[in-house]
């Protein structure tokens, strides 16, 4: 009997549970075989020059060692265990999101998103962090590649980025309503002014409303919107001590003030009017604004869908409106309705909340629609 020697092994890499043939001399029982110090419970001595061994389930990349009663031998080459991904977190996000992969034999790896290779931010045997590259929205296969081969894949869903385009108004006093325009904003859970979080009132895919924190000190802030798909870019906001004035000559008269509940996107009618004097009165009919002094300048088209042909009632699915009146731009949201009876018939009262893009002043307009609230 002689101590063992290892001259080669084949294949040079493989997954846990795969078979490896070790070639050498001095292979006889009793013997042990280990991969980077992890004993292999399943192996067969085919001959004094060959061993067939199953890679242990907890093996890591490293040298192979064979031991008999006389001595031991360690391979000159490294056996690389194929990486395995057990989990990915998060499972969705927009490009730029940092993901964490956990598993085994992940060290010395490149992360692959479909066919796009990314260098990890951090990399250990059990954990990898990487940044999602610029990719089209949809499901992608995420795997890792290292000298042990290509791992299994996990699915990551690339979402559209959360984009903040505009704040209305970009300068206002604390405690006021603020409206944020952008894309992929649905499900907004946070609006932050620097490190100060605001109370989110409503949100759609393109519009989020919130209250400027009442305790926000006067100063300059970067505002961001956070959803389950990620955090938006930042836009500047000035918290003022005194609200800016409107330069336009029209004063809109407030109706009853209401606070919209979270995620409420109510229906609207085909005609809206304020409670101002006739010289200042205006109304909306389908996609046209009219006033005694002429048609208003509509900055954005209004998406109405007819509920029933000929009824004159419409739905406003995106909960948003924008127009210019007497040189001042207004944006608005539809807010909850309530019913009343004037003794002659049932009416349904709707509310339109407007924000001046110039001053941030909030206006509440009402419209009475004939018929019950259904």
Span 45-72, pLDDT tens digits: 999 999 999 999 999 999 999 999 999 9
- Give whole-number Cα distances, 291 to 29, 279, 295, in Å: 100, 8, 6
Average pLDDT over residues 215-236: 93
Higher pLDDT, residue 130 or 1: 130
pLDDT given for residue 239 in this prediction? 97
Rounded to an integer, what distance in angstroms lies between the CA atom of residue 356 and that of residue 5? 84
Q: Which of 81, 103, 127 is the last residue of a domain?
A: 81
Question: Is 251 part of any domain?
Answer: no
Question: Is 362 part of any domain?
Answer: yes
Question: Is 258 part of any domain?
Answer: no
In this structure, are 73 and 91 located in the same domain?
no
Q: Which domain holds residue 52?
A: 5-81
**Secondary structure of the chain: what % helix, strand, coil (to 5)?**
0, 55, 45
**255-258 contacts, C-beta under 8 A, 24 or more apart:** 255/351, 255/364, 255/365, 255/366, 256/351, 256/364, 256/366, 257/364, 258/335, 258/336, 258/351, 258/353, 258/364
In this structure, are 357 and 274 located in the same domain?
yes
- Say which CATH number the domain at 136 has: 2.60.40.10
Share of the chain above pLDDT 70, in %: 70
Q: Which of 41, 146, 169, 8 is nearest to 85 (CA)?
A: 146
Question: Is 257 part of any domain?
Answer: no
* 235 confidence band (pLDDT: 50, 70, 90): very high
Beta bridge partners of 225: 191
pLDDT given for residue 199 in this prediction? 86
Q: Does the pLDDT of residue 10 top 90, yes or no? A: yes
Question: Is 117 part of any domain?
Answer: yes
pLDDT given for residue 1 in this prediction? 79
Q: Does the pLDDT of residue 277 top 60, yes or no? A: no
Q: Which of 114, 130, 158 is the last residue of a domain?
A: 158
Mean pLDDT: which of 111-125, 196-210, 282-296 is highest?
A: 111-125
pTM above 0.95, yes or no: no
Q: How many domains does the chain have?
A: 4
pLDDT in tens, 37-51: 999 999 999 999 999
* 354 confidence band (pLDDT: 50, 70, 90): confident
pLDDT given for residue 207 in this prediction? 83
Average pLDDT over residues 154-177: 93
Q: Indicate the DSSP class of residue 292.
A: T
Q: Which of 302, 52, 319, 314 is nearest to 181 (CA)?
A: 319
Cα 359 from chain centroid?
Answer: 31
Q: Which of 128, 158, 188 is the last residue of a domain?
A: 158
Q: Does the pLDDT of residue 183 top 70, yes or no? A: yes
Nearest 5°: the CA angle 235, 236, 240 is 140
Computed over every residue of the chain, the mean pLDDT equals 78
In this structure, are 273 and 363 located in the same domain?
yes
Phi, psi for 182 (deg, rounded to 5): 175, -150
pLDDT in tens, 89-117: 999 888 888 999 999 999 999 999 999 99
pLDDT in tens, 283-342: 343 333 333 333 333 322 222 222 233 333 333 334 566 666 667 777 776 554 555 454
């Amino acid at each position: 009997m002689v101590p063992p020697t290892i001259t080669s092994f084949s294949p040079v890499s493989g997954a846990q549970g795969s078979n490896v043939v070790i070639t050498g001399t001095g292979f006889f029982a009793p013997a042990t075989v280990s991969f980077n110090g992890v004993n292999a419970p399943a192996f067969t001595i085919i001959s004094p020059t060959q061993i067939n061994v199953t890679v242990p389930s907890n093996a890591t990349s490293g040298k192979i060692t064979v031991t008999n009663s006389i001595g031991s031998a360690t391979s000159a080459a490294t056996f690389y265990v194929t990486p395995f991904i057990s989990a990915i977190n998060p499972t969705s996000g927009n490009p730029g999101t940092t993901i964490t992969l956990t598993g085994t034999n992940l060290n010395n790896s490149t992360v692959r998103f479909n066919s796009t290779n990314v260098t990890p931010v951090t990399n250990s045997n059990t954990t990898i962090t990487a940044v999602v590259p610029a990719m089209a929205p949809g499901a992608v296969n995420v795997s890792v590649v290292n000298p042990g081969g290509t791992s299994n894949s996990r699915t990551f869903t690339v979402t559209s980025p959360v984009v903040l385009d505009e704040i209305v108004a970009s300068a206002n006093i604390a405690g006021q309503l603020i409206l944020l325009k952008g894309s992929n904003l649905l499900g907004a859970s946070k609006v932050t002014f620097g490190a100060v979080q605001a109370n989110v009132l409503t949100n759609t895919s393109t519009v989020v409303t919130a209250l400027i924190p009442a305790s926000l000190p006067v100063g300059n802030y970067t505002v961001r919107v956070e959803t389950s798909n990620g955090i938006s870019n930042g836009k500047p906001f000035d918290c003022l001590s005194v609200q800016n004035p409107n330069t336009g000559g029209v004063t809109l008269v407030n109706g009853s003030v209401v606070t919209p509940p979270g995620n409420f996107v109510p229906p609207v009618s085909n005609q809206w009017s304020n409670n101002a004097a006739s010289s200042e009165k205006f109304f909306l009919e389908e996609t046209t604004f009219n006033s005694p002094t002429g048609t208003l300048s509509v900055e954005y088209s209004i998406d109405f869908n007819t509920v029933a042909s000929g009824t004159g009632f419409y739905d406003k699915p995106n909960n948003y409106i924008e127009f210019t009146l007497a040189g001042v731009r207004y944006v608005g949201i539809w807010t909850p309705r309530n019913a009343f009876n004037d003794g002659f018939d049932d009416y349904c009262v709707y509310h339109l909340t407007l924000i001046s893009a110039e001053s941030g002043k909030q206006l509440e307009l009402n419209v009475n629609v004939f018929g019950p609230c259904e």
